[in-house]
Structure 1
Amino acid sequence: MEIEPALPLDLERMTFELVAELHPTTIPTLLRVCRRVHAWLEPLLYRVLNLDDFNLIRAIDFSLKPPSTESQPPQSLLSRIYQWYNPPEPVEPPRLQFFRNAVRHVFCTIPDFFANADTSWQTISHFLRLHPAVFELAVKGYSATVKTLPSSNRKQLAKELRPTRLTLELCNEYSSVDLTDPFFSSVTHLTLLTPCTLTRQPNWLPSSLAGLTHLCVTEDIAQVIMPRVFTTCPSLQAFVVYWWEAPIPRWRRLRAETSPQLAKDLSDQLRIAKNRRYSRMVGFEMQLERSAYADARIVLVSVPDFFEAWERGVRSGQDMWVCVEQFIASKRRGEREQNAYILVTGEPWGFLSDSEIEEADGLESIIPPSFCSGTRTKKRTTCLPHFHHPHERVP
């Protein structure tokens, strides 16, 4: 039964959409309010797809099934022979156009390529093949070398894919990535992450990507390509150097919720990891200042869990590139010094979370005290009194 609106439709729609954007987990419940609310909010439910969710994969698999032919009358022998030589045009799944219009951001994990019975990956691959122009794609476990394996063992992305924004967590070295592959031809925002240590210099630069404007790589590869990255990519607007840290497994976080001691141990581990990342970022920043490659478009970023921040960012509208562009713009407006590089604040990509800034009496409780003196010039320190970035102009 359709409920008569008590508010003008445009205001009612704005209210429901605002609630859905602020609290995405409520969308399935809100869809049951009435038909018009269902029509408004269903696209928001599928705007960001985390395909590590098995229930979501099952729902997509059901939606992509072709129309049933069970109710059609049996065909004669002549009709079947005719269709054999004149096959009908393939019928698109009824929900395919909806997915093409609604889905903007997709996250998935490529399973081990020997797990051939993985039906979930078959559904994911089929969905991506039907939606090759997805705006943003983030993939864990990507391997370029899988193409050399026997086809029966391949677990690779559909060759038809042409995303605009692409994030790849590599399961092998950067040197295996072929940026001349058509898969990269439409990419404007590229992120390449690896937990592996670089053992040899890659034989590529992103110069083959004509439309590339934003590039993010981990620190080890940045050391190699930085001398040439801006000359080979003159259209580059932002170059992000990311410090990789293996995220805490979900099962450990859940266990920590049931035990004060485990929670304390986990908190200590996170604090030590944060201090370690910050020390490496400060060292890189100091090295950058002394080099000939310093550029206002370089931004240093590190968060505890990249893909958790990625999902929060695309759902809230504050993705990494939005935060990075705001940071660079603040330098151009003179709000920060030109040699500011570390992205300290800005949920969810800032080095410090909003809650850490609100709860701390001083950043000495967050950042190692050893960085507050003696490691930088007298003019600039790494200690952040009153929660200002070290390069912000404090009134």
Structure 2
Amino acid sequence: MDLDPVFPPELEREIFEHAATLYPNVILNLLVVAQRVFAWVRPMLYRTIMVKPGAPPLAAFMRIIDAMPASSSFFRDSVHNLFVHQTPWLAAELQTILATCPGITNLAMMSTTPAVLPLLASKRLTRLALSLAQLFGSGPGGLLPHLAHPIFAHTTHLGLFDYVQNEAAWGAFARLPALTHLCLHSFVHRAQLRSVLTKCPRLQVLVNMHTNTEPEWGLADICGRLKLGDDPRFVLIALDQSVNAYARDWETGRRGEKDFWFLADAFVEKKRRGEIKPVSRCWICEHDGI
């Protein structure tokens, strides 16, 4: 069926694309409305790819890639977001996707390998979450000097899953030209956090994320030990750090909704306005969304 347009084409396209963004489950239905709608909406079907073992969508996506002509630019313009679960045995699939989809700007890798590093170098990754040790390998020079790599040149929001200690180069974050938001997972010494805040004046938000599961390590206790309440940019967040929970939060942010980055921004803004009172000389933001 190919219906005659009711609205001007640019308005009609905006309506259908907006509907596909808000309700991705209806994209397959929209594909059969009209040929022009098919051309507008089909790329949105592949806007976000989740690399997960045994997932039927991944298997179908790999078959489509294999069927596409080598000269096709379809996936270059279609795929913007990629989430990689803890799937080291899918390294070949990941390399194929990264090679086929150069337009990825939002990337989270719960597991990765140095083999994908050359495929990331040419991408403009604005949002990035990964383990430096997995991507670069651990060596005698430590992890943080790897931040000088070109893959971080455009990154505004960076999340690191590494447990980094005994590092003397925490000022390396200051060399990232676009960085405004940084999330460090698990326990980080307050001197290292203070070093990041001091040496990175362009940084707008520094998140230290914890799993609040042990009563003796409550948030207030952690805040008291960190003693960073004088810098409004610092936010302590507690959440379920399972892969599935992180994936749900990532997908929430991908849709433009309230992920942990959104909540951290709002929390920092409230602190700057004096609407949040300190707890044990630090600040707490509890993430209740996941």
Q: Which bin holds the TM-score, normalised by the shorter protein?
A: 0.7 to 0.9
Name the structure, 1 or 2, with higher relative contact order (CA <8 Å, separation 6+). 2
1:12-62 Cα distance to aligned partner (Å, 9 max, x none): 545433432232122123222212222332233233222332322332343
How many angstroms apart in 1 are the aligned matches of 2:19 and 2:224?
A: 44
The 3 A distance-change label for structure 1 pair 332 and 118 is closer
* Alignment match, 1:307: 247
Q: Which structure 2 residues correspond to residues 182-261 of structure 1 after superposition, within 5 A?
A: 182-194=150-162, 200-205=165-170, 206-221=173-188, 223-244=190-211
Aligned-partner SS, 2:183: strand
The 3 A distance-change label for structure 1 pair 176 and 334 is closer
**Cα pair 2:179 2:202 within 8 Å, conserved:** yes
How many angstroms apart in 1 are the aligned matches of 2:63 and 2:257?
A: 27
Equivalent AA in structure 1 for residue 202 of structure 2: S
**Cα pair 1:166 1:189 within 8 Å, conserved:** yes
How many angstroms apart in 2 are the aligned matches of 1:136 and 1:319?
A: 14
The 3 A distance-change label for structure 1 pair 60 and 337 is farther
Shift in Å at residue 236 of structure 1? Answer: 0.5
**Cα pair 2:184 2:207 within 8 Å, conserved:** yes
**Do structure 1's residue 342 and structure 2's residue 284 form an aligned pair?**
yes
Equivalent AA in structure 1 for residue 106 of structure 2: E
* Alignment match, 2:80: 104
Shift in Å at residue 281 of structure 1? Answer: 2.4
**Cα pair 1:217 1:240 within 8 Å, conserved:** yes
How many angstroms apart in 1 are the aligned matches of 2:118 and 2:216?
A: 35
How many angstroms apart in 2 are the aligned matches of 1:300 and 1:292?
A: 10
1:247-298 Cα distance to aligned partner (Å, 9 max, x none): xxxxxxxxxxxxxxxxxxxxxxxxxxx653895323222334xx36631111
Shift in Å at residue 185 of structure 1? Answer: 2.5
Shift in Å at residue 239 of structure 1? Answer: 0.3
How many angstroms apart in 2 are the aligned matches of 1:168 and 1:15?
A: 35
Q: Which structure 2 residues correspond to residues 308-387 of structure 1 after superposition, within 5 A?
A: 308-337=248-277, 341-344=283-286, 350-352=287-289
Aligned sequence identity (%): 30
1:136-186 Cα distance to aligned partner (Å, 9 max, x none): 22112235xx4xxxxxxx454524344122110456698435112222223
Gaps of 5+ in 2: 53-57
Q: TM-score, normalised by structure 1?
A: 0.58
Aligned-partner SS, 1:296: coil
How many angstroms apart in 1 are the aligned matches of 2:188 and 2:59?
A: 34
Q: Which structure 2 residues correspond to residues 1-395 of structure 1 after superposition, within 5 A?
A: 1-5=1-5, 12-52=12-52, 53-63=58-68, 65-66=69-70, 93-94=71-72, 96=73, 98-109=74-85, 112=88, 119-128=92-101, 131=102, 134-142=104-112, 146=114, 154=115, 156=117, 158=119, 159-169=121-131, 175-177=142-144, 178-194=146-162, 200-205=165-170, 206-221=173-188, 223-244=190-211, 275-276=213-214, 279-288=217-226, 291=227, 294-304=230-240, 305-337=245-277, 341-344=283-286, 350-352=287-289
**Cα pair 1:189 1:214 within 8 Å, conserved:** yes
How many angstroms apart in 2 are the aligned matches of 1:240 and 1:210?
A: 19
The 3 A distance-change label for structure 1 pair 183 and 124 is same
The 3 A distance-change label for structure 1 pair 42 and 282 is farther
**Cα pair 2:130 2:159 within 8 Å, conserved:** yes
**Cα pair 1:134 1:164 within 8 Å, conserved:** no
The 3 A distance-change label for structure 1 pair 119 and 190 is closer
Q: TM-score, normalised by structure 2?
A: 0.77
Aligned-partner SS, 1:121: helix
**Cα pair 1:212 1:233 within 8 Å, conserved:** no
The 3 A distance-change label for structure 1 pair 36 and 237 is same
**Cα pair 2:107 2:129 within 8 Å, conserved:** yes
Aligned-partner SS, 2:159: strand
**Higher alpha-carbon Rg:** 1
How many angstroms apart in 1 are the aligned matches of 2:84 and 2:66?
A: 15
* Alignment match, 2:55: none
Number of matched pairs: 270
Gaps of 5+ in 1: 67-92, 147-153, 245-273, 345-349, 354-395
